[in-house]
Amino acid sequence: MNILELLHFYARSHGQDIAVRSGSSYLTYEQLDQGSGRLASYIQNFCGDNKAPVVVYGHKEIYMILCFLASVKSGRAYCPLDSSMPADRIQAILEEADPSMIFALEDLEEMPENAVSLEELLLLARQDREPIQPEFWVKNEDVFYIIFTSGSTGKPKGVQITADNLNHYLEWSRGLGTAPEDKLGKTFLNQAPFSFDLSVMDLYTCLASRGTLFLLDKETQLDFKKLMPALKRSDAAVWVSTPSFADMCLADRKFCAERMPRLETFLFCGETLNNATALKLMERFPDAVIMNTYGPTESTVAVTEVMVTKDMALSSEPLPVGRAKPGTTLEIHREDGSLAKPGESGEIIIVGDTVSTGYFKREDLTRKSFFTSLAGRKAYRTGDKGYLDREGILHYEGRIDLQIKLNGYRIEIEDIEQNLTRLEDVSCAVVVPNMKDGKVRSLTAFVTGSKRPENKFTFSRDMKERLKAFLPAYMIPKKIVHMDSLPMNHNGKVDRKQLGGLA
Ligand code: AMP
């Protein structure tokens, strides 16, 4: 059964079970299945032949999930758009997506004609309407969702994931850490916004396991006084987050098994899991399983897994990212494209059934990063560096380009630089990551163009403030430094190394 069929099945067998919860609001399996079916009929009537994706705009609203499912039941991909992004970036994504419909669960700066507000949505989902027939649902080869990630041109790019990709992914993710039957009916924690593919790990693994998804909103995550009580209330058995978020929680002694006695499994993805983090979690949650997984949005969340044991955390630093899931083959390519030997570093190539069909409307980028393997399977050049050991276990060694992870967020350094140069008085900009314990902790930008400032602090503060018009908060450098000129290397390129950055 695919995810939509499973959902329908659970709606009949366990219709009153809670599928998703946020604060005191919730949706049962029956409400989710029937509401999305009715809403899909509405989308189909409204959009007719327009098969463009449906944008779902908001933040951690339970109804976002209703909209996601309604879109795919109407045969259209959905594209989640988080409301914490600046208007300029939202506009850029809306232009690129050119959606057939927008579910605006929060107010957009301008509400387009094809936008449906939360109030309208609630009425529509309750209206007496025949749910859409399964023959309209997205087919296996159709795009299920599009997630936009940072792009080096300064504009985000949309990764297309098909229903087939997702179904293959779920066959594996349901068994991550514990057996699929052990996850049935359990509560899953949702930390990442739906516009990041890490959320796919909790959202759909949870729905495929007839579980309850507990949504942690941004405000709760940033306020310790609210966070710990919320985590305790969640009763979560399956934890899905970036390691950075776990690190943040570990800073509070109250984050332990006594407060979260049902917690069985930690599922991590998206950035390096430090040994120290794993060891601390083992101390605080002695009975829980810790899984490190690795993968980019372009291959549906994650493609490798490893259970982190105490021995491993004490003996191998950095931790390996694990073995490829069934249906996936990993290759390590040398610079000339030939296959590297075990133990030899190169670019990580992912081949298999969860590799995306490419970037939305970006043939050029798709051609650059995706190809068909000799065996006729889809393959993706990750831009990640790593090696496979003799046991076939993957070890991650960073990037071959200027992409970074900051607090779990994927950022193309050039995306920030391009947007900095959109500021009137900036002619050149270079952004360098500040590293500690193998992880990026913050960013510093060096800019030329403006007059030498009298006060460095107010210069940096003002620049940051202005940059907020173009970039989300997590992409804003901690410090912006004025330079009369940028250092050059002998090729005439900006010498990032001299500024303390990646070469
Ligand atoms: P995203 O598309 O946001 O999931 O980011 C994908 C990138 O995050 C990968 O290409 C890696 O560079 C990095 N990444 C993902 N998982 C891990 C991991 N377990 N350890 C280290 N880096 C990771």
pLDDT in tens, 333-384: 999 999 999 999 999 999 999 999 999 999 999 999 999 998 999 999 999 9
Q: With 60 as the cut, is the pLDDT of residue 77 above it?
A: yes
State residue 503's pLDDT score: 53
State residue 28's pLDDT score: 98
CA distances from 104 to 27, 67, 421 (A): 19, 10, 31
Amino acid letter for position 137? W
Q: Is the CB of 244 under 6 A from ligand 1?
A: no
State residue 494's pLDDT score: 86
pTM of the model: 0.95
CA of 410 to the centre of ligand 1 (A): 8
Give the β-pairing of 54-58 and 101-104. parallel
The residue contributing the CA closest to ligand 1 atom 23 is 271
Confidence of residue 502 (pLDDT cuts 50, 70, 90): low
Predicted confidence (pLDDT) per residue in 200-215, tens digit: 999 999 999 999 999 9
Ligand 1 atom, smallest distance to 198 CA: 4
User: Rounded distance, CA 63 to CA 44, Å?
Assistant: 18
Residue to substitute in 148, 244, 271 for testing ligand 1 pocket (most ligand atoms within 8 angstroms of CB): 271
Question: Which of left, alpha, beta for 407 (phi over 0: left; psi -120 to 50: alpha)?
Answer: left
Which residues have a Cβ under 8 Å from the Cβ of 337 and sit 6 or more positions away? none
CA distances from 441 to 144, 404, 433, 469 (A): 34, 11, 7, 23
Bridge partner list, 246: none
Nearest residue to 347 (alpha-carbon basis) of 337, 332, 336:
332
The residue contributing the CA closest to ligand 1 atom 15 is 270
Q: With 80 as the cut, is the pLDDT of residue 490 above it?
A: no
Rg (CA), the chain: 23
State residue 501's pLDDT score: 64
Predicted confidence (pLDDT) per residue in 99-136, tens digit: 999 999 999 988 899 999 999 999 998 888 999 999 99
State residue 300's pLDDT score: 98
Q: What is the DSSP string of 390-451?
A: TTS-EEEEEESSSEEEETTEEEEHHHHHHHHTTSTT-SEEEEEEEEETTEEEEEEEEEESSP
Chain centroid to CA 346: how far? 25
Is residue 312 within 8 Å of 275, Cβ to Cβ? no
User: Rounded distance, CA 177 to CA 182, Å?
Assistant: 10
3-state DSSP call for residue 104? strand
Predicted confidence (pLDDT) per residue in 283-308, tens digit: 999 999 999 999 999 999 999 999 99
Q: Is the CB of 243 under 6 A from ligand 1?
A: no
Predicted confidence (pLDDT) per residue in 310-330, tens digit: 999 999 999 999 999 999 999
Which residues have a Cβ under 8 Å from the Cβ of 417 and sit 6 or more positions away? 154, 429, 430, 431, 445
Looking at every residue in the chain, the average pLDDT score rounds to 95
